[in-house]
Structure 1
Amino acid sequence: MKNSWGKKFQYYFDYLFSLGPGVLIAALALFTVVLSLIATLILVVSRLSPGGEPPFDFIEGLWFTFLANLGEGSVAGRESVWTFRFITLGLTLASIFIVSNLIGIISNAISQKIENLRRGKSAVIESDHTVVLGWSEQVFTIIPQLFIAQEGKKNRKIVLLGNQDKVEMEDQLRNRIGSEAIEKVVCRSGSPIEMSDLELTNLNEASGILILTPEGENPDAEVIKSVLAITKGHDRKGRPYKIIASLKEKQNRALGKIVGGEEVEWIFSGQVIARLLAQSCNQPGLSVVYSELLDFTGDEIYFVEDAILIGRTYREALSTYQKGVVIGLQKGENVTLNPAMESIIRPADQLIVIASDEHGLIRGERAATRDEWIISNHTPPKNSENVIILGWSERGNELLRELNNYFQPKSKVCIVTDKFDLRPELEEISSELKNLKISFERKSILDRNELEMLKLHKYNHIILLSNDDQTLSIQQIDSNTLFTLLHVRHIIEATQAKPSIATEILDSRNSRLAEVAKADDFIVSDRLISLMMAQIVADRRRNAVYEDLFNPQGSEIYLKPACQYVKTGVAVNFYTILEAASRKGETAIGYRLSSLSEDVKRSFGVKINPDKREEVVFTEKDKIIVLAEK
């Protein structure tokens, strides 16, 4: 069936309107020119003119008809012939059509522009800005950290691209962070895997790009697609990007490195969380130490050169600064934490230090060390451990591998969950775990009676692992974890046992509730990864330090009894502690006072990078925080 001319005209007319205001204005201009030419030809050929005036030539006629089409001409007076009157009347009516449509098109274009601005669909022209891709709870941790990192840097903006309405994102930022967020954060709505949406953020001029882990199933796939969209974008320039992203699943590491190449610093979040849980269950307070090191409100890791120390040893460098702790050396691309004490510092070597900021190293007159108060011959006993894991998730197997790395042979681990029968899975992984004997009990960890049947007082360490049930929200999962924690605390308090308790929390807002429940350590998964990402985007060399810290083969952070280093009950300065630790091949970075272990405002007694001249009286329960080999 053939379409009529009317339908064809209607189709092309509708198509013209769909092309946007620019094409419509061009079409209207063409219509005006054609109509003016036709009217001019009629006037010139017919030698028509207003009454009493000579006939128009072509130029004068074209000018007259053009102005009439735009509403500037006038209808002919009484003296004009009727033919001229009809022509000018037609031009006047045409001018009404042309001008009204022109006003409508311009008004609609302005409305569309305002709507695009409201929806966050306009391009960003910022430079040297930080781009954050994605919208999740991580935003409310990362954005304040970036504010602190950018203090003193004028007009540095953060561009946030999220799959949310722009106004909604701005409202949440204002409510959760404050009005400062609206002043410093430019929000745009779009997908981090759509190249056209990514172009809105001006990636080519960005100083760094953070890809947040999306919520829902298979987040790693979305992160990898975002990296592909960024690195393969047709609008990119020659300058390499600085991208920070995280992957949860171990099997996706190789693919991530292939896709990202040298442009991406990867954080393998599943492994990091598993290692921190494994370390924390045996060392209460360790999670606080990491929070202090990763949070910009505390002390951070920096890389500095100090010409005065060239030719000196690492041991000598340890006591160079009154404020600021040396923790390692960077030689070329190689980062070494807690190197051999006699390592020589060469030209171009950089010190890895913990300081309040990049200018926070303070030299001072060294206070005397008291050799008679140093303990050199203490060898701690090596005992097997007895651990119970309440709950299970995809991080469970990685957690078992990490516990196997840290614990002595013949240690026992009991896993409790009612979600599914883990025995086939545990039998498969048991062959890898030479130091652990694994057992499984299928019980509800939310049921008080079933928890009491587990005889929790028998265990040295209790780990509460958040489950990864996709049918539950993050808040529901955290609620279940906190309910279990409250039950466990109450059961333990009725006995004389004092096991350590390490608890995984998913939402940082619930961490205060974990503090109320008096967890020895609470690991806030998303917050920890968010803090790491913010630190690395400020200086990507930090990622090598974190990889070393979380690597069982390198030096790690330990909280060891103060009585293994210095005499208790006497006032000692931190220079003495540094000397005591260095004699054991360790680097002291701080201490934890047990008397303040429940004081939130005093960081639960943890003090990183203390003034080395300040004297402290330690007790048997206090800890020295050191970098040491396992």
Structure 2
Amino acid sequence: MAQRRAPLGDRARYWFDRTLARGAAALVGWMALLCLAVVVPANAVLVWTDSDAPASLTDRLAQVWRLTGQTLRLGGATGTPLRVMTSVLLALVALLYVSTLVGLITTALTDRLTALRRGRSTVLEEGHAVVLGWSEQVFTVVGELVAANANQRRAAVVVLADRDKTLMEEALGPRTGPFGRTRLICRSGPTTDPAVLPLTGPATAGAVLVLPHDEPDADAEVVRTLLALRAALAGERTRPPVVAAVRDDRYRLAAELAAGRTGVVLESDTVTARLIVQAARRPGLSLVHQELLDFAGDEFYLVRGVGLTGRPFGDALLAYPTSSVVGLMRGDTALLAPPPRTPIAPDDLLVAVSRDDDTARPGDCAPLVEEAVMASAPAAPARAERVLLLGWNRRAPLLVDQLRRRARPGSVVDVVAEPRDATARQVGEADAGRGTGLSVTLHHGDTTRPETLRRLDVHSYDSVIVLGRDPVPGDPPGDPDTRTLVTLLLLRQMEEATGRELPVVTELIDDRNRALAPLGPGADVIVSGRLIGLLMAQISQNRLLAAVFEELFSADGAGVRLRPAADYVLPGREASFATVVAAARHRGECAIGYRSHADVPTGPAYGVRINPPKDERRRWTARDEVVVVGRD
């Protein structure tokens, strides 16, 4: 049977495709033919319609050729064939030279722009901050560094991560706000490569911050980054202070060895667990920590005690009208809320909460104290507590351990977790035979289902802690916070149905979800990544503050506490804040602020007032709270 012949149009298209497949030469030939097919007839029309055109056909054709040569820059010489071909050859050589030159310039500019876009040029700054890594903490860290540099003219923050430079700049802009005088410089590349780290200029940096990313191998990545930084700075006379964070305490020693003597390594999960427990026992404490750690308000400073050498520490508490003294820095050791009779040595620095380092001006505030309105009743003793823990993640075992450290006999922790949370089952089984003052009971259930919460007598607990589960491969982005928000919605519905407040403390991963959280008046929120980012930014500005925060967030140290105002001043009486400071001094504590119960529903401070002037007067109620630094 004879083969059917393809249509002429299909065969023509196929032949044209095969011709183009031969490469650039065929493409140039087709373009030349196309140009001639358009230019020659057009020029012929111009010549034949010109009233001044030559009369003879030969001269007219020569005129068409000259116009074609001028249009295509192919020369326009006429005469013998040799003369015409030489003219065309010279024009082609000139065209090839110019095209090649333009191509080389274009390629060089494109490569340069691509390199700049990829962030591969070396930073030539001095005293800048270098942020290595990318996670949710990067927005907090960069934003706080920008706030810290607000009064500096030539400040810069350099971010290095294995991401596209443009994407990093687009992500940081809306999340951190205006940069003011601080220049943001992004560089792309792996933070674990010693050949890439010099792009950030670490040798001349004022501080280097190493962030753990959001993957399971975050701690190992931090250690590798610190080792790469150490290799990149080999041979340098001076090294910048390094601040890093790890999740697991098993990696802390390795990270400290890699960071060197000037390095500070934080255990983010341990610090977060302590803050959650503290907030569970006294909701609202996270607001105090955020106020103390960000650069927008009052924060910790180390100041020289003018005229206080040899005097007892208690005198320093009323020696600064607009600053709140909380301890001593003795060498590299922080003594927070030491006994009031502790003498101040000549080399001691005062640890004070102040608006700025130059606002800690001395002045005698003792005349402001009104002893007649000071309360003298002893503090109420601690009692057994009942805690409901909804959800489970990698920080939950640390959280249970923190609860166990200060538990009174008879204390109870009821855990509601899904069956797949094997560590929750292990903690419950391990606690069964410990005989401690805290008993842990595990209940299986999904905290996002209403029937799970209805089975619990939620209002019988002293505090309810809501945890999001650890991210699982395959989960959609933001899933842990989504489940947490659903649980909070159900708890809020129970509050509204019964008319009784629930002391809820919840942990969120993304700070943007804080505004979405349906929280009641007695609720508190811990954004773990934000608090660790605030800590890292503070320490990067003053390494000595690391000892202050280590004591502040340690399990057995002097931390920030919220106490009933009735323990310090008589309810219903008007008194100055200096009176509260004096009353706290009698209890071995340092008062640094208060929380007004009447302003609890009002944001953004929600009643928290840190470092008020000593002469500020107000009427204190029984439901107000005093913010102190002290021990339980």
| TM, length-normalised to structure 1 | 0.82
Tell me what 1:469 maps to. Answer: 471
Distance 2:522 2:578 in 1: 32
**Long gaps (5+) in structure 2:** 1-85
Distance in 1, Cα, partners of 2:239 & 2:126: 15
Q: Distance in 1 between matches of 2:177 and 2:292?
A: 25
- Offset at residue 212 of structure 1 (A): 1.6
Q: CA deviation at 1:153?
A: 1.4
Between the aligned partners of 1:578 and 1:374, the Cα distance in structure 2 is 10
- Structure 2 SS opposite 1:152: coil
Task: Show CA shifts across 1:80-139 (max 9, x none).
Answer: xxxxxx9xxx99999998887666545433321121011111111111111111222222
- Tell whether the 8 Å contact from 2:332 to 2:544 is kept in structure 1 after alignment: no
CA distance in 1, matches of 2:315, 2:528: 37
Q: Does 1:315 align with 2:314?
A: yes
Indicate the residue corresponding to 2:446 in structure 1. 444
Aligned to 1:495: 498
The match for 2:3 is none
Aligned to 2:408: 408
Aligned twin of 1:215 = 214
- Report the CA distance between 1:181 and its aligned residue: 7.3
Within a 5 Å distance, the mapping from 1:67-146 to structure 2 comes to: 104-146=103-145
Name 1:387's counterpart in structure 2. 387
Check whether the contact 1:208–1:243 (CA below 8 A) recurs between aligned residues. yes
Deviations 1:306-352 (A, max 9, x none): 23111211110000011000000011121110011011112121000
Distance 1:181-1:228 versus aligned 2 partners, 3 A rule = farther
Q: Deviations over 1:39-75 (max 9, x none)?
A: xxxxxxxxxxxxxxxxxxxxxxxxxxxxxxxxxxxxx
The partner residue of 1:590 within 589, 593, 601 is 593
Q: Distance in 2 between matches of 1:622 and 1:127?
A: 48
Is 2:521 aligned against 1:522?
Answer: no
Q: Deviations over 1:172-224 (max 9, x none)?
A: 22333345379610111111112222111111010011112211222111111
What's the counterpart of residue 298 of structure 1? 297
Q: Pick from 409, 426, 429 the counterpart of residue 427 of structure 1.
A: 429
When structure 1 is superposed on structure 2, of 172-181 and 220-229 the one drifting more is 172-181
What RMSD over aligned residues (CA atoms) do the two structures have, in Å? 2.4
Aligned mates of 1:137, 1:477 — CA distance in 2: 14
Please give the per-residue CA displacement for 1:497-537, whole angstroms capped at 9, x wherever unaligned.
Answer: 54411100100001112265556110001111111111111
Give the counterpart letter for 1:494 in structure 2.
A
Residues 1:538 and 2:541 aligned together? yes
Give deviations 1:526-565, integer Å, cap 9, x for gaps: 1111111111111111111111011122111111111111
Residues 208 and 515 of structure 1: is their aligned pair in 2 closer, same or farther, counting only changes over 3 Å? farther
Aligned partner of residue 535 in structure 1, secondary structure: helix
Runs of 4 or more, structure 1, over 6 Å off, are 90-100
Q: 1:537 to 1:429 in 2, by over 3 A?
A: farther
- Residue matched to 2:350: 351
Q: Indicate whether 1:564 and 2:563 are aligned.
A: no
Letter of the aligned partner of 1:530 in structure 2?
G
Give distance in 1, aligned partners of 2:522 and 2:339: 36
CA contact (8 A) 1:503 1:522 kept: yes
The amino acid across from 2:133 in the alignment is G
Output the CA distance in 2 between the equivalents of 1:191 and 1:605. Answer: 44
**Is structure 2 residue 484 aligned with structure 1 residue 481?**
yes
- Report the number of matched residues: 542
d(CA) in 1 for partners of 2:98, 2:570: 93
Q: Is the 8 A contact 1:146 1:534 kept in 2?
A: yes
SS of alignment partner, residue 298 of structure 1: coil
Q: Are the counterparts in 1 of residues 501 and 521 from structure 2 also a CA contact under 8 Å? A: no
Deviations 1:443-485 (A, max 9, x none): 1101011111112111111000121032334522111101101
Deviation by residue 1:242-293 (Cα, 9 ceiling, x = unmatched) = 1111111122222222222313211110001100111110101111110000
Gaps of 5+ in 1: 1-85
Structure 2: how far apart are the matches of 1:185 and 1:413? 46
TM-score, normalising length: structure 2: 0.81
**Which residue number corresponds to residue 79 of structure 1?**
none
Aligned partners of 2:625, 2:224: CA distance in 1, in Å? 45
Offset at residue 169 of structure 1 (A): 1.7
One-letter amino acid of the counterpart of residue 271, structure 2? V
Q: Secondary structure at the match of 1:604?
A: coil
Equivalent pair of 2:325/2:351 in contact (CA under 8 Å): yes
Distance 1:581 1:518 in 2: 27
Q: Is the 8 A contact 2:502 2:523 kept in 1?
A: no
1:549 aligns with 2:548: no
- Report if the CA contact (8 A) 2:572-2:621 is conserved: yes
Checking the alignment, whether the CA contact within 8 Å between 2:274 and 2:402 is kept in structure 1 is: yes
- Code of the residue aligned with 2:447 in structure 1: it is I
Pairwise CA distance, 1:495: 3.3
SS state at 1:600 partner = coil
Native 8 Å contact 1:397 1:429 kept in 2: no
Matched, 1:579 2:575: no
Distance 1:444 1:219, change over 3 A: same
2:335, 2:615 → 1: CA distance?
Answer: 27
Q: In 2, distance between residues paired with 1:519 and 1:578?
A: 26
CA gap of 1:316–1:617, structure 2 versus 1, over 3 A, is: same
The answer to whether structure 1 residue 205 and structure 2 residue 208 are counterparts is: no
> Deviation at 1:387?
0.6
SS in 1 for 2:418: coil
Q: 1:306 to 1:118 in 2, by over 3 A?
A: same
Change (3 A) 1:99 1:210: same
Is the contact made by 1:204 and 1:236 (CA closer than 8 Å) also made in structure 2? no
Match of 2:49 in 1: none
- 1:165 maps to 164
Q: 1:518 to 1:216 in 2, by over 3 A?
A: farther
Secondary structure of the residue aligned to 2:186 is strand
AA matched with 1:410? G
Instruction: State the match for 1:177 in structure 2.
Output: 176
